[in-house]
């Protein structure tokens, strides 16, 4: 079978048919009836040889016929079971079946068995769950060289982000940190349901972790950067507001401190029983409000809207 090169005036260009092009004056090739019939007969002969009746309405007969002729002629492709079984000597093997056959019999190396070893990918090294692959020095160095990948889940880490803005954990790794701050762009897509209520220092801020696949997915966390909450040992997760230990002013001998006021009497009953009337105004009509005053030794008292110790702020992740 070939192009009709011997037919005069067929109009082949470089040995092949060409379309008519009116803009260039190119005349289109002709397809002689004899050649067209020959091509059709070539195809029909294959279909007929396979035992099928040519059908003008079907477009897959040639493919079906070729497959049947290959099988009838002894050319049959192996199945996966054939490849793994490895006993058939008459069926042909495509690349997939060859791989399946090798994979079936190759012994994989373990700690106690010699065989073919598989090299771990970087995500496998980072995840640390696969015990059947080998870690190369380069991938190990890449993992160990990333300190953020070595931190346990759920550990709060305080960073001086004001002096080292590029020190925050990356967001494009197989792990993901969150900033314990409300309305923080760093948390885009990984926190949901943020709630901030109250005013400082009694401010409450929470959010829900949105990280499918993470053991913390769906857990509610305290946004302690926003709350300005201090971490305290014991009773993990228990939330408490600030307070001062209850106390009274007392004299050196341990008795309630007595404030004297001339001309006033001491209440004998009620919530003010035992207190001197010095807590009232001189005429006894209004109770005085105690104030925090300089003791003359330690300087002016430092007072404000919260109870706190000397501190420095960090951003906790």
For tokens 């507001």, name the residue.
Answer: 241
254: left (phi > 0), else alpha (psi -120 to 50), else beta? left
pLDDT of 265 > 80? The answer is no
The span from the CA of 194 to the CA of 47, in Å, is: 70
Q: Which of 120, 159, 160 is nearest to 142 (CA)?
A: 120
Query: What does pTM read for this prediction?
Result: 0.49
Q: Please write the tens of the pLDDT for every residue from 212-236.
A: 989 999 999 999 999 988 888 888 7
Contact between 149 and 173 under an 8 Å Cβ cutoff? The reply is: yes
CB burial string 233-264: b at 16+ within 10 A, e below: eeeeeeeeeeeeeeeeeeeeeeeeeeeebeeb
Please give the C-alpha separations between residue 100 and each of 86, 91, 114, 288, 305, in angstroms, as whole numbers.
10, 15, 20, 93, 73
Q: What is the pLDDT of residue 195?
A: 94
Q: Please write the tens of the pLDDT for every residue from 14-61.
A: 888 888 888 888 888 888 888 888 888 888 999 998 899 999 898 899
Q: Which of 142, 120, 145, 115 is nearest to 131 (CA)?
A: 120
SS3 state of residue 289: coil
The span from the CA of 167 to the CA of 270, in Å, is: 61
Could you tell me how far CA 87 lies from the centroid of its own chain?
47
Q: How confident is the model at residue 269 (pLDDT cuts 50, 70, 90)?
A: low
Q: CB within 8 A of 92, min separation 6: which ones?
A: 75, 76, 77, 78
**How many CA atoms lie within 13 Å of 226's alpha carbon, on the beta-carbon side?**
20
For tokens 């967001």, name the residue.
Answer: 171
Q: Which of 290, 312, 311 is nearest to 301 (CA)?
A: 290
pLDDT of 260 > 60? The answer is no
- 65, with CB counted inside 10 A (0-12, 13-18, 19+), is buried
Which one-letter DSSP state was computed for residue 250? Answer: B
Q: Please write the tens of the pLDDT for every residue from 128-170.
A: 778 778 888 888 887 777 788 888 888 899 988 888 766 888 8
The span from the CA of 47 to the CA of 42, in Å, is: 9
The span from the CA of 136 to the CA of 127, in Å, is: 15
pLDDT of 253 > 80? The answer is no
Q: How confident is the model at residue 263 (pLDDT cuts 50, 70, 90)?
A: very low
């Amino acid at each position: 079978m070939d192009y009709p090169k011997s037919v005069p005036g067929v109009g082949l260009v470089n040995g092949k048919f060409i379309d008519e092009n009116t803009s260039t004056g190119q005349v289109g090739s002709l397809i002689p009836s004899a050649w067209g019939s020959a091509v059709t007969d070539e195809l029909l002969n294959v279909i007929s040889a396979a035992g099928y009746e040519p059908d003008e309405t079907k477009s897959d007969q040639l493919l079906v016929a070729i497959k049947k002729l290959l099988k009838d002629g002894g050319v049959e492709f192996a199945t996966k079971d054939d490849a793994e079984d490895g006993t058939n000597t008459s069926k042909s093997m495509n690349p997939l079946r060859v791989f399946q056959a090798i994979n079936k019999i190759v012994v994989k190396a373990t700690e106690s068995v010699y065989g073919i070893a598989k090299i771990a990918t970087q995500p496998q090294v980072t995840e640390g769950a696969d015990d059947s692959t080998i870690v190369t020095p380069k991938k190990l160095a890449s993992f160990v060289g990333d300190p953020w990948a070595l931190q346990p889940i759920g550990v709060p880490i305080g960073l001086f982000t004001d002096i080292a803005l590029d020190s925050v954990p990356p967001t494009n790794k197989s792990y993901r940190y969150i900033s314990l701050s409300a309305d923080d762009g760093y948390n885009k897509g990984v926190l949901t349901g943020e709630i901030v209520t109250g005013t400082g220092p009694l401010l409450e801020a929470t959010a829900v972790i949105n990280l499918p696949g993470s053991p913390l997915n769906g857990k509610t966390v305290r946004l302690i950067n926003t709350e300005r909450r201090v971490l305290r040992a014991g009773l993990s997760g228990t939330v408490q507001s600030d307070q001062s230990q209850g106390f009274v002013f007392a004299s050196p001998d341990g008795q309630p401190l007595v404030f004297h006021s001339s001309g006033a009497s001491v209440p004998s009953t009620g919530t003010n029983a035992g207190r001197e009337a010095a807590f009232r105004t001189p005429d006894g009509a209004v109770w005085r409000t105690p104030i925090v005053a300089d003791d003359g030794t330690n300087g002016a008292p430092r007072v404000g809207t919260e109870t706190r110790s000397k501190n420095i702020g960090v951003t906790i992740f």
